[in-house]
Amino acid sequence: MARFAMTEIRRRIAALFLILMVGFTLLGLRLAYLQIVRNSWYREKALSQRLRPVPVDAKRGVIYDRNYQKLAVSVSADAVYATPSEIKDPEGTAAKLAQVLDLSQEEILSRLTRKQATVWIQRKLDPQTARQVRNLRLPGIGLVERPQRYYPHGELAAHVLGIAGIDNQGLEGLEFFYDEYLRGTPGRVQAERDARGREIPDGIHQFIPPQDGYDLVLTIDHVIQYIAEREIERAVQRTGSERGAFIAMDPKTGEILAWALYPKFDPNNYQDYPATNRRNFAIADMYEPGSTFKIVTGSSALDAGVVTLN
């Protein structure tokens, strides 16, 4: 009986030992999988949680006329951003910023208290306002240069060029149609931060430069474009019409030399104009050809030999 009891105890000890061995083996395999096979994935995931990127926009490509006159360019303008975790006095910071920015204290405060790593406060600052913000030296408030679209000739060829938004994206016209080529690839500035969002002094700091967009050369001639816009405006005003269009083409190649519409708008301040002014009705609307189609039927008849020039 005693021998049977000892055998049973040994069997149970062996079973327990086997279970422990299997458990430790599985645990070891799991640890090896996590630390060897998945090491890079977890390392990148942990690093991404500590790195807080600030985007750096690429410059949109330049749009030229056929003679390489610049019709649309990108210029640098300061933008003010905040790191909420570094701001200890949001109310006081908002009050000081409201004195120099074109925003109310309440609106600024709502942005400073967001649960985000970084937030934009205001973009497209003029140099004087940017200087005033910089002189405040507020903790958690920074300035970064961002490219903004600028049209040096104002209203010239506005319906052809279209507009670009504050986030550097094409919204209308050629700016929209060729946006994937013009906009480029954004870069970023990365700083390693702790769990509370505070920058780690000796942590990782990276700058990944942006890749600027491709340039675009049009068949438009800015001199012919200017004359076309001047004449269509005069014609509309002289006849009392609501609108007018003037398109000049090279008959040998089909190239568009001028594309003028009236009423006009300035793409630098497009928000100050009604949306109807931005409508490119020369291609957006349908027209009955009327007598202008006679040249097509006449040419076809001549080509077929049905009629002669006499």
As annotated, the active-site residues are 291
211, 182 contact by CB (below 8 A):
no
Residue 72 has phi, psi (to 5 degrees) of: -145, 130
Return d(Cα 61, Cα 168) in angstroms, integer: 11
User: Which amino acid is it at 150?
Assistant: Y
Which two tokens mark 271? 């928000």
Q: Report which secondary-structure segment, H or E, holds 247.
A: strand 244-249
Which two tokens mark 192? 């390693």
Which two tokens mark 107? 């609106």
Return d(Cα 67, Cα 196) in angstroms, integer: 55
Return d(Cα 214, Cα 260) in angstroms, integer: 25
